[in-house]
Structure 1
């Protein structure tokens, strides 16, 4: 019995040894990490100039008073005084225009930019100031109207007295005219009283100041336009609800208009990485954007973004990073790249009184917003 088992055991042991050897042979080494090569500013520009676009935002301000909408174009940020009220059609024919920068994050033409590029409503404090200015204007109208009414009522009563006490020196007015004059004065008094009640209840009404976007238009790199209305229309599809994260996502209204356009996506590999390391102090960063909007971007050869460079000048905090990249109004929403050409920030604000210190939304917040 044992003699018969011995060859079987030898076969089993041999097979086990052979299998273990086979397993050892198929074990592969982990691939070596790809070594990133630093890019020059010129290389980053050439790689991403088609990823950056100029955004035109046409809009007007809107004030809603007790459910009724009124439109206006400008307001004084110090006093809250507004320009004249307009109908929507009048406002649409001559809107305000502001400029910003955006960049592609996928081949479908999805853009990332700043929230304040698309949401230009007055701040809460400015809104209160505007409403206070509106109330003051209504009060001025009321006092002027009341004085005018009292003057006309006095004239009417004098004519009425003369009609009934004609002594040969006054002038008479036909009775029908006197009745009509009385009716006009009564109607004016009713309107004046209604305005007074309106002012008295103004604070309790659902009044608010917002903005109304007419259109978002996108211009592409090297695009030659006969007019500044020759753009691809976009819409805002996602706005960050975090007040510290100034980001917005946009998509084309009609994706078919992107056919034939050159779309290059920014390198999001650092954004997508599982472990995002903070940027180091003095690390070189490069920004591509439309500084000063169309004023600089629109050249005889078409729309052209600009490259500006600097260094990280403050250790990254949870929301933003500070760098020494020069910027002007219009560069809001510009992508900021590291030395390897990876997206590391979205430019959103500058330090007051200087063009050389600017803030960008940092990597982790971009990742959270997109995902």
Structure 2
């Protein structure tokens, strides 16, 4: 603290005033130092005054456990940030499509929509409804079938467009006749062995246990009935040469136990879905359960709607295929223009890789003018690509692939995009 006696004197020169002030400060400092150094004049320090420490002492007193704790916390935070950062990158690696932008290369179209195109696996089999009780037929001839196809997301509610023959494969021309024949045979065989005294809960077990005794060959006669292929019970004919009197016939008939068989009218045999699910591009043996929402009422429009059971499109699907941006004026599509298809030909046979499911891209050209319902293009494909989206050179949907020629590759057909409105409103 500066003493009042050393204030600037107006009568002194500037130099003298500075020197006087400096000498005063120096003298005070020396005097204070001598006072502190003198043991006789040292005063005890009150215990109420906190002891002060130097900055270097503070550093020495820092808790090493706290340092380790905060260091570990930092590592955990950085690790979590890295994991979530990678997941975010993984979930958003597809490039978002700018509205009305032209995706002018095959690669851009593929990158934009690969995650929106899924592989469909449809498992179906034979069922019987007997007196209102439905059971699945597990007999040897009633084989369970698996077919593969393609579908693509069109909204954020898990709705996908595919072909009706992917969603109801038993109605396809190449299998429908055989299925009808099998269903009729199964119906007759069930009627030949199942009796009315069997409870509904026992139908499935009884039919499977006695299937080898079943017969689909109906024999005309007074009594009627089924021929037993295994040589079991035979129906008696009144004209048999071994019986020569009415009394003998009556006695013999009375001795044969009468079985009350279930009528064919109470039996219905049909094919239906056991399971239908989809796999995403880049997934690894992960199948998402679906429901069939809609099948076209028009047999000439091979389209239908499939939906994820949880009604939510996965967040890995950055871009749905925008139907509002599709080419609905099919007359504007001309032979020679580009056609790009993304799908799953041959199902798992081609799609499965060591790093998961991979969708494929194939391109070609429109080869014939549309008839208002379908359009032809020269894109190489085969079974499994049914339901695949077909784009023009800008990535706009022009068709949904539905058939090809097994004999010759490179000739495929798609339902024109405008027909989607017959099964899905947008």
- 2:256 pairs with 177, 183, 186, which one? 186
Work out whether 1:96 is the aligned partner of 2:161.
Answer: no
Q: C-alpha separation between the residues in 2 aligned to 1:313 and 1:208? A: 46
Residue 57 of structure 1 deviates from its aligned partner by 1.4
Contact 2:330 2:416 in 1 (8 A): no
Q: C-alpha separation between the residues in 2 aligned to 1:38 and 1:360? A: 21
Q: C-alpha separation between the residues in 2 aligned to 1:212 and 1:128? A: 13
Question: Where does residue 226 of structure 2 map in the other structure?
Answer: 142
- 1:105 pairs with 141, 154, 162, which one? 154
- 1:129 pairs with 181, 184, 187, which one? 181
Deviations 1:22-48 (A, max 9, x none): xxxxxxxxxxxx996461211211111
Aligned residues: 279
Deviations 1:190-219 (A, max 9, x none): 23xx56x95xxx5xx376543221222111
- 2:364 pairs with 306, 310, 321, which one? 310
- For the residue of structure 2 that corresponds to 1:322, the secondary structure is strand
Residue 66 of structure 1 deviates from its aligned partner by 6.8
- Map residues 359-370 of structure 1 onto 2, 5 A cutoff: 359-370=413-424
Work out whether 1:287 is the aligned partner of 2:341.
Answer: yes
Residue 143 of structure 1 deviates from its aligned partner by 2.4
Work out whether 1:297 is the aligned partner of 2:351.
Answer: yes
Q: C-alpha separation between the residues in 2 aligned to 1:340 and 1:265? A: 15
Residue 269 of structure 1 deviates from its aligned partner by 3.8
Deviations 1:94-138 (A, max 9, x none): x43221111111133321111111112356644542355444724
Contact 2:227 2:234 in 1 (8 A): no
Question: Where does residue 55 of structure 1 map in the other structure?
Answer: 120
Q: C-alpha separation between the residues in 1 aligned to 2:234 and 2:331? A: 75
Residue 315 of structure 1 deviates from its aligned partner by 1.0
Contact 1:218 1:234 in 2 (8 A): yes
- For the residue of structure 2 that corresponds to 1:121, the secondary structure is helix
Question: Where does residue 118 of structure 1 map in the other structure?
Answer: 167
Q: Name which one, 1 or 2, has greater alpha-carbon Rg.
A: 2
Residue 247 of structure 1 deviates from its aligned partner by 1.0
Bigger drift between 279-288 and 119-128 goes to: 119-128
Q: CA RMSD in A?
A: 3.6
Residue 68 of structure 1 deviates from its aligned partner by 5.9
Q: C-alpha separation between the residues in 2 aligned to 1:212 and 1:255? A: 22
TM superposition score normalised by structure 2 = 0.57
TM superposition score normalised by structure 1 = 0.65
Contact 2:402 2:413 in 1 (8 A): yes
Question: Where does residue 284 of structure 2 map in the other structure?
Answer: 224
Task: Return 5+ residue gaps in structure 2 as ranges.
Answer: 1-98, 189-214, 220-224, 237-241, 243-251
Q: C-alpha separation between the residues in 2 aligned to 1:251 and 1:147? A: 51
Q: C-alpha separation between the residues in 2 aligned to 1:183 and 1:368? A: 62
Task: Return 5+ residue gaps in structure 1 as ranges.
Answer: 1-33, 74-81, 86-90, 153-157, 159-181
Contact 1:72 1:84 in 2 (8 A): no
Residue 359 of structure 1 deviates from its aligned partner by 0.9
Q: C-alpha separation between the residues in 2 aligned to 1:49 and 1:112? A: 15
Q: C-alpha separation between the residues in 1 aligned to 2:383 and 2:133? A: 34
